[in-house]
Amino acid sequence: MEKQRTLVAVSEPEVLINFALNTKCRANIRLRSLCATNPVAFKVQTSSPHKFLVNPPTGLVQPLSQTTIQIVLKPQNQIPPTFPRSPSDRFLIKTAVSDSAESVNSLFLTGSTQDVKLKVAFVGAFLLKHAVNCGDLNSVKNIIKRQKSIVAELSKDDAESLFRVASELDDSESMVGLLLQAGLSVDDVRVRLKTLDVNSFYTGWSELHVAVAFDRTDEVLSLLRTKKIDSLDCRDKEGKTPLHLAASKGNIRCVKALLEFGADKNAKSKDGRSALYNAVANGDRQMVEMLIEMDADPTITDDRGRSCFDVARDKGQVEVIEILERGEAVLTAARRGDLERLEELLDKGATMSYRDQYGLTAMHAAAIKGHKDAVLLLIEFGGDLHCRDFEGYTPLHLAVESGSLETVEVLLYNGANANAKSSSCASPLYMAQAKGCDDIALLLINRGGSSSLPLSSLNS
């Protein structure tokens, strides 16, 4: 049997009603036609006609166009017995391909129809406050799930009132922790948190987590300067550091402060995500650019093997992809010795920590090709002389491999370790002697290099 094609797409999976007592409450849903040839007729029915009005209850949606239907809840003098989800209130939208010869009503009497079912959820600030007052943690979670910005958008007075009520509950720590994580911000939060023992929150937030969550840069700097924190990279129960939290919330000044004081820019939470990954997932172009400029690694993968590149491409974030790909372009320019392109990218803040499938950075790539000027340029922009590929080789090892005396000289002059050992314990001098590069070997000896044998040779 051939499956019927879907005629319309509905903007929301539920009818979300911002509930308030004794007030008309409205919600809009949009119907978008998926039919390219004929108008689509619709008819809206409700299981609770004594409570709801629909405008318009019937109509036509022109091909590939959309229309808005308004749902009106008549004034109610009682709080819904269950919320957010209302088990007794539902809407049914009947749809059919329209023939201009038939009226809409007659079409639904005689024609073949497709039905779209919508459930009702009561949400809004009034019910949020009521749920907090009752200590109904589950209802609070479900309201926030449906209206993610509801807590952050509360007025100052409402936020402080909600905080006071939540902090006086028997299970105050869970409720306050949930509201804080959802974006609750009040002036006296820090004073009140001292009485609640932040570390016992279900979030596991430290005082530093709380400060960055509310974008309180002065408070963050005070904690960092006075060293009133146990660890700059302390973790909550999800393994998130303050940097993760600040990046997720778009608090760019806090991120800068944390990084300037030495926060681990590539720390991974329990789900394997870095701060940069979170910024990319949010489509926060400014945050992504700043983290890339601070040399955050875009190739780190989460616990499902997905990198920042994968997330940005899935979400179609063209500008973010361009920023991320600058690191790959730096490596390519370094490998080619393209100084003009390399300098252009570095001036834009492109990362030098990007690695290819072998763990090679731009510094490695320039060194193994013997591009001494590219190596020097990378050093001038703060490139890491001691970075290692996946086999433990430093740029100096690879410069020796290239046979480029000048590149080896540049690296040594700028502080490269002449006795660095690869994973197999091979030193640069050992590699130079094995390749018969006597001039490079002599230079390394003069710089204190020793000829360590690799583990494979020692074990044979």
Residues 67-76 pLDDT 10s: 999 999 999 9
Helices 285-293 and 318-336 cross at an angle (nearest 10°) of 20
Lowest mean pLDDT among 60-69, 176-185, 443-452: 176-185
What confidence category does residue 183 fall into, taking pLDDT thresholds of 50, 70 and 90? confident
Q: Are 108 and 70 in contact (CB under 8 A)?
A: no
Q: Is the pLDDT of residue 459 over 70?
A: no
Q: Is the pLDDT of residue 422 over 60?
A: yes
Please give the average per-residue pLDDT across 429-446, as a whole number.
92
Tokens of 281: 């997932």
For residue 115, which phi and psi values (nearest 5 degrees)?
-110, 135
All residues at 6 or more sequence positions from 233 whose CB lies less than 8 Å from its CB, including other chains: 241, 242, 243, 263, 264, 267
Report the percentage of the chain scoring pLDDT > 70: 90
pTM of the predicted model as reported, rounded to 2 decimal places: 0.53
Which residue, among 258, 302, 256, has the nearest Cα to 280 in the 3D structure? Answer: 302
Single-letter amino acid code for the residue at 394: T
Q: Which residues pair with 66 in a beta bridge?
A: 32
Please give the average per-residue pLDDT across 2-10, as a whole number.
74
Q: Are 8 and 40 in contact (CB under 8 A)?
A: yes
Tokens of 397: 């090892």
Q: Output the CA torsion 326→332→333→338 (10° steps).
A: -160
Q: Which residues pair with 119 in a beta bridge?
A: 14, 90
Domains of the chain with bracketed CATH: 8-123 (2.60.40.10), 323-459 (1.25.40.20)
| pLDDT tens for each residue of 334-359 | 999 999 989 988 887 778 888 888 88
Where on the phi/psi map is residue 262: left (φ > 0), alpha (ψ -120 to 50), or beta? Answer: left
| pLDDT tens for each residue of 144-165 | 999 988 988 888 888 888 988 9
- Cα 274 vs. chain centroid, distance in angstroms? 8
First to last CA, the chain: 70
Q: Are 128 and 38 in contact (CB under 8 A)?
A: no
All residues at 6 or more sequence positions from 9 whose CB lies less than 8 Å from its CB, including other chains: 31, 32, 34
- Taking the CB of residue 228, how many other CB atoms lie within 10 A of it? 10
What confidence category does residue 173 fall into, taking pLDDT thresholds of 50, 70 and 90? confident
Q: For the sheet containing 66-73, what is the strand order? A: 8-10, 25-33, 66-73, 52-55
Tokens of 25: 């409450």
Which residue, among 128, 147, 114, has the nearest Cα to 12 in the 3D structure? Answer: 147
For residue 34, which phi and psi values (nearest 5 degrees)?
-105, 5
